[in-house]
Amino acid sequence: MSDIPVEKVYRFGKKVVLYLEDCYLGMQKYLKTGEVDVVVTSPPYNIGIQYNKYNDNVPKEEYLDWLENIAVEIKRVLADDGSFFLNVGGKPSDPWIPLDVAERMRKHFVLQNVIHWVKSIAIEKKFAENCSAIEGDIAVGHYKPISGKRFLHDNHEYIFHFTKTGKVELDRLAIGVPCQDESSVGKRCRGNTWFIPYETIWSREKQRPHPSTFPVALPEMCIKLHGLNKTKLVLDPFMGIGTTAVACMRLNVGVVGFEIDEEYMKTAVERLQAFIDSKDFC
């Protein structure tokens, strides 16, 4: 679907490897069967986003065939007890896209959890009476302007949690929230609605370096939910500007990423280097 660039490899310490290469070919070349514990990724959604290189506007069946082929390769490299977190959104005029993608994945994986990534939310005080922290009606997160009268603002995306068996045990309390009930202490499961607002990422030239990133907290929460103590290697086949790799560096787990675009790779390398420069990294 895109021109395959000359392969380039960027290594940070022993644990972080980024390949400027098509993910399908890259996985075949560099990854052993079953060696990946967690895949966290957000592929192109085929909604006409203006990427530098990738054409995000192809016939739907062609797009789904392409993604399904990649999923088969993801299944090969994923451990039998691994987790595959697939973030997909649609657009108001085509809300079926994530569900069409999930339907293709269904042939190869078990859908163990459906998580809703909530990017913005409004809470009215009258519905939050038992929560003293909410003092009035609030709207948090970024609301993208929407034109026309047909559609609602689209403030959520899916994170499909696929596994091979549907029986992978998770570390729910690693991303748990405090118990609200005063009689109980500790944490409880946060459930499948995750409010994570966008971060602002600007380049030195004050331009957005990539048109569709997810926040670092998203891969971080996925990896912790799978279980940090059983995660040695994470894969992001559609790495963009390296958000999953930044999360892995923060969590001190290994990561392999693929990206076909030199400019996005350059930003990913800069972000990782900035993290290293700010920490003792080995």
Residue 168 vs 235, nearer CB to ligand SAM = 235
- CB-CB contact of 103 with 141 (8 Å): no
Shortest gap between Cβ of 271 and ligand SAM (angstroms)?
9
Residue 33 vs 52, nearer CB to ligand SAM = 52
Shortest gap between Cβ of 240 and ligand SAM (angstroms)?
2
Helices and strands: H and E segment counts in the chain = 6, 13
Residues at the interface with ligand SAM (CB under 6 A)? 2, 22-23, 42-44, 51, 53-54, 210, 212-214, 237-238, 240-241, 243, 258-261, 264
Lookup: tokens for 210: 């990539």
Q: Return the H-helix or E-strand segment holding 88.
A: strand 78-88
- CB-CB contact of 52 with 129 (8 Å): no
Shortest gap between Cβ of 275 and ligand SAM (angstroms)?
14
Shortest gap between Cβ of 103 and ligand SAM (angstroms)?
20
Please give the full DSSP string across 185-217, using - where no structure is assigned.
-SEE--TTEEE-PPPP---TTSS-S-SS---TH
- CB-CB contact of 236 with 219 (8 Å): yes
Calpha distance 137→118 (Å, rounded):
18
Residue 125 vs 142, nearer CB to ligand SAM = 142
- CB-CB contact of 225 with 231 (8 Å): no
Shortest gap between Cβ of 128 and ligand SAM (angstroms)?
31
Measured from each CB, the residue nearest to ligand SAM is: 240
Residue 8 vs 125, nearer CB to ligand SAM = 8
Residue 177 vs 274, nearer CB to ligand SAM = 274
